[in-house]
Structure 1
Amino acid sequence: MAQILAPSTQWQMRITKASADASPMTSKMWSSVVFKRNKKGAMKSSAKFKVFAIKSENSTINRLEDLLNLDITPYTNNIIAEYIWIGGSGIDVRSKSRTISKPVEHPSELPKWNYDGSSTGQAPGEDSEVILYPQAIFKDPFRGGNNILVICDAYTPAGEPIPTNKRHRAAKIFSNKKVVDEIPWYGIEQEYTLLQPNVKWPLGWPVGAYPGPQGPYYCGAGADKSFGRDISDAHYKACLYAGINISGTNGEVMPGQWEYQVGPSVGIEAGDHIWASRYILERITEQAGVVLTLDPKPIEGDWNGAGCHTNFSTKSMREEGGYEVIKKAILNLSLRHNEHISAYGEGNERRLTGKHETASIDTFSWGVANRGCSIRVGRDTEKQGKGYLEDRRPASNMDPYVVTSLLAETTLLWEPSLESEALAAQKLALNV
């Protein structure tokens, strides 16, 4: 029996070769069966269904799955490019497909394309055309072959970046010679929560109720501790296939919550890789029938929120004497705390409460190996006198273009006044 389509689990009808009523079927005589069984045993159509086709002795019916997995490479030079961009909310990913006449290796080989910005909250209806500029290419793990995912940013027809295009400003900062010379590295820890469809309650939780308290779930294993591992693993492999610099994954403190890490990535690449990984995660959860949320505090109460901790270093930080450079960077970050907080994600005030491994949103702090601080420095960095810092303030729904470029700007390009620098140094010295 060849399964054609299986969006949900329903009961199956089996036809055996031994049945006296069964007759041989040719490829012209096959039929598919779509049904759902009600309490009385009658069959009726349903939105939740499985479709089955009968396999005969003479031929096998091609399945929808076969077409989805079809390798078109031997038959055409054409490829499918999935153009991906960020919508009007600043967190929603949108995409559409087009045929390209041959495989490409660089975004410059791809044409610009337009979309209806009035349908994404990015343009008025009377002047709705927005132009996509291809910026980064990844292999498409869903279509395979030479097909690609294309990260784009958005411009007006006159060539001006639209207000939600955060990549444009980030690219300017990362192209500054001072920043280029320092080779900024980023390691981004993307946390996310999986929700049951319809009820919007975390995966694995009893509907309308709560599981046992936090403790056994972080990096846990077992049916009563780990919910959604298949999604995490599928995403991990899909990112590796795509060429995303994913470096690891783990179950998080709150059940139904997961994390993956991307990096080390240099400059603008960090934002491109995070957005591509988010798009892939959206597609995988779509296929699994599970809802993805990047809300920084999806469940109120005594539960961990979801962050996007951003590890950052420069060439000077990674070399001998780097610890002093790190402390100077922390001083600068303390002076621009409010600017960073305002750009670090919507709803972050619900997460940064000073509890659940966070610092208070109102107070800047730093410490060695302290996960309750705004900025954490690792024990190895302190011991070796060089390394990196971890900014623990960004929310899970932060824009990586904004966060990475702001870190580079504040620590490499922005110069505080001598007076404010001296006052901040005194305050931080008392805080440590």
Structure 2
Amino acid sequence: MAHISAPSVQCQVRVVPTSSFTARPMTSKLWNSLLLNQRKKGTSRSSARFRVLALQSESSTVNRLKDLLNLDITPYTDKIIAEYIWIGGSGIDLRSKSRTISKPVKHPSELPKWNYDGSSTGQAPGEDSEVILYPQAIFKDPFRGGNNILVICDSYTPAGEPIPTNKRHGAAEIFSSQKVINEVPWYGIEQEYTLLQTNVKWPLGWPVGGYPGPQGPYYCGAGADKSFGRDISDAHYKACLYAGINISGTNGEVMPGQWEYQVGPSVGIEAGDHIWCSRYILERITEQAGVVLSLDPKPIEGDWNGAGCHTNYSTKSMREDGGFEVIKKAILNLSLRHEEHISAYGEGNERRLTGKHETASIDTFSWGVANRGCSIRVGRDTEKNGKGYLEDRRPASNMDPYVVTSLLAETTILWEPTLEAEALAAQKLSLKV
């Protein structure tokens, strides 16, 4: 929403003349004197001379604009507005534009392909700039309401080839493998983010140019001195539920001004679609609130927690009896492809994965039960029940969920290490598989 400069509240100043100052001009000195006198007890005479009435203007620009934004067009037309959303050239920025569709739709296959200027998003040269959008997933639009929708798209050349930043296409190929389909991979993704003040790009609630008290009271905290941005988190929570996103919870994080929400359990490619749409909704809400959203994995250097996107993962075999041994085998495979995963787990992650602040070192693979300082954490319930899930704590907050989810499936379901490498890794990690 654009910022509107016209005020929605108009102040009407009424000065009641009396014999004591009828002919006196309203100087700044007199104005201040009247304000001071109004605040003193027992000065009914001055309050009778001076009144400020705050009147709500029903015809103000803001109110009229709000009425139009909330206008329900459903009784008057079958047409709907579809907001086409795609990922820009940086691989993390979200772009969108709107188009009118002749009637409500229930499946993305009912929507037409569209195009955009890829030279303006860093995804195509100016002399051949047309990029084609393929609708892939639809969600209800919490901003426009009614039958209007948000459409998650991926991008292709006019010849039908996925462009380099289209990570969804490769993920869809992995998730369409019959072996992966049979394992029904589940994902629960914990998206952390930081809210920044608009002009200074400093965390919300922090003194400008200064620091709050040390970490400790902020995680899941309540109170004006501990929780900054709760309204944004709550608005996002409800908007995601309205949209049909499988959001499962939210909480304040360890660093003040930082929040987290969880999406899942989601199956296969759906996990990436839901995370990207939830990020878009969060961008729109922070835009309206006049706050900057940051997915930087270490927005503030020093003794402050970074921002991750921990990914909980399980397969059908992991969830069944004897699944803990399958989890151990998956951990072994993950250890052998540690560098490949790290390179795909987000930009700037080396600033976050230092071995401090509940992280493992980026250079060393580790795992443990209930240990948040490891690369892979296994829950106590999983150990006790002999089945369950694992948590990959390495992904950064700005990771691409299509890349992370598909790479986990590929490494643990499709990829097979050599027997020699497997034996050496098992010995190093003290795993019996």
- Shared fold (TM-score, shorter chain, > 0.5): yes
For the residues of structure 1 that align with 2:80 and 2:289, how far apart are their CA atoms? 26
For the residues of structure 1 that align with 2:57 and 2:210, how far apart are their CA atoms? 43
**1:370 to 1:80, Cα distance in 2 relative to 1, 3 A:** same
Secondary structure of the corresponding residue to residue 303 of structure 1: coil
1:241 counterpart = 2:242: yes
**1:134 to 1:67, Cα distance in 2 relative to 1, 3 A:** same
Give the match for residue 103 of structure 2: 102
Give the match for residue 221 of structure 1: 222
Deviations 1:389-432 (A, max 9, x none): 0000000000000000000000000000000000000000089x
For the residues of structure 2 that align with 1:165 and 1:429, how far apart are their CA atoms? 38
Secondary structure of the corresponding residue to residue 360 of structure 1: coil
Give the match for residue 336 of structure 1: 337
1:272 counterpart = 2:293: no
Give the match for residue 140 of structure 1: 141
Q: Structure 2 matches for 1:49-64, cutoff 5 A?
A: 54-55=57-58, 63-64=64-65
**Amino acid paired to 2:191:** Q
**1:77 to 1:10, Cα distance in 2 relative to 1, 3 A:** closer
Give the match for residue 361 of structure 2: 360
Deviations 1:21-76 (A, max 9, x none): xxxxxxxxxxxxxxxxx9999xxxxxxxxxx98449xx999611010010000000
Paired-residue identity, %: 88
CA contact 2:8–2:62 (8 Å) conserved in 1: no
Give the match for residue 30 of structure 1: none
1:13 counterpart = 2:14: no
For the residues of structure 2 that align with 1:72 and 1:281, how far apart are their CA atoms? 25
CA contact 2:187–2:271 (8 Å) conserved in 1: yes
**1:271 to 1:55, Cα distance in 2 relative to 1, 3 A:** closer
How far residue 198 of structure 1 moved from its aligned partner, in angstroms, is 1.1
5+ residue gaps, structure 1:
21-37, 42-51
Give the match for residue 151 of structure 1: 152
For the residues of structure 1 that align with 2:136 and 2:345, how far apart are their CA atoms? 23
**Amino acid paired to 1:136:** A
**Amino acid paired to 1:13:** Q
1:90 counterpart = 2:104: no
For the residues of structure 2 that align with 1:101 and 1:113, how far apart are their CA atoms? 15
Secondary structure of the corresponding residue to residue 390 of structure 1: strand
For the residues of structure 2 that align with 1:85 and 1:165, how far apart are their CA atoms? 9
For the residues of structure 1 that align with 2:407 and 2:172, how far apart are their CA atoms? 11
Give the match for residue 179 of structure 1: 180
For the residues of structure 1 that align with 2:275 and 2:424, how far apart are their CA atoms? 36
CA contact 1:53–1:61 (8 Å) conserved in 2: no
CA contact 2:10–2:56 (8 Å) conserved in 1: no
Deviations 1:163-189 (A, max 9, x none): 000000000000000000000000000
CA contact 2:328–2:431 (8 Å) conserved in 1: no
Give the match for residue 398 of structure 2: 397
Give the match for residue 44 of structure 2: none
Deviations 1:239-270 (A, max 9, x none): 00000000000000000000000000000000
**More helix, by proportion:** 2
Secondary structure of the corresponding residue to residue 338 of structure 1: helix
For the residues of structure 1 that align with 2:5 and 2:341, how far apart are their CA atoms? 44
CA contact 1:54–1:61 (8 Å) conserved in 2: no
CA contact 2:83–2:97 (8 Å) conserved in 1: yes
Secondary structure of the corresponding residue to residue 10 of structure 2: coil
Deviations 1:324-346 (A, max 9, x none): 00000000000000000000000
**1:74 to 1:352, Cα distance in 2 relative to 1, 3 A:** same
How far residue 13 of structure 1 moved from its aligned partner, in angstroms, is 2.7
For the residues of structure 2 that align with 1:368 and 1:317, how far apart are their CA atoms? 16
Secondary structure of the corresponding residue to residue 83 of structure 2: strand
**1:100 to 1:39, Cα distance in 2 relative to 1, 3 A:** farther
For the residues of structure 1 that align with 2:410 and 2:29, how far apart are their CA atoms? 65
**Amino acid paired to 1:14:** C
CA contact 2:4–2:62 (8 Å) conserved in 1: no
1:313 counterpart = 2:317: no
Deviations 1:335-359 (A, max 9, x none): 0000000000000000000000000
Q: Across the two proteins, how many residue pairs are aligned to each other?
A: 397
Give the match for residue 293 of structure 2: 292
Give the match for residue 420 of structure 2: 419
How far residue 6 of structure 1 moved from its aligned partner, in angstroms, is 7.3
Secondary structure of the corresponding residue to residue 63 of structure 1: helix
CA contact 2:185–2:315 (8 Å) conserved in 1: yes
For the residues of structure 2 that align with 1:53 and 1:208, how far apart are their CA atoms? 37
How far residue 89 of structure 1 moved from its aligned partner, in angstroms, is 0.1
Where in structure 1 do 4 or more consecutive aligned residues deviate above 2 Å? Answer: 5-16, 38-41, 52-56, 59-62
**1:76 to 1:316, Cα distance in 2 relative to 1, 3 A:** same
**Amino acid paired to 1:217:** Y
Secondary structure of the corresponding residue to residue 170 of structure 2: helix
Give the match for residue 25 of structure 2: none
For the residues of structure 1 that align with 2:30 and 2:354, how far apart are their CA atoms? 54
Query: Aligned-residue CA RMSD in angstroms?
Result: 2.4
For the residues of structure 1 that align with 2:77 and 2:403, how far apart are their CA atoms? 40
TM-score by length of 1: 0.88
For the residues of structure 2 that align with 1:163 and 1:60, how far apart are their CA atoms? 44
**1:251 to 1:61, Cα distance in 2 relative to 1, 3 A:** closer
How far residue 14 of structure 1 moved from its aligned partner, in angstroms, is 3.1
Give the match for residue 262 of structure 1: 263
For the residues of structure 1 that align with 2:82 and 2:29, how far apart are their CA atoms? 46
**Amino acid paired to 1:81:** A
TM-score by length of 2: 0.88
**1:219 to 1:54, Cα distance in 2 relative to 1, 3 A:** closer
Q: Structure 2 matches for 1:366-405, cutoff 5 A?
A: 366-405=367-406
Give the match for residue 77 of structure 1: 78
**Amino acid paired to 2:165:** T
5+ residue gaps, structure 2:
17-27, 32-54
Give the match for residue 24 of structure 1: none
Structure number with bigger Rg? 2
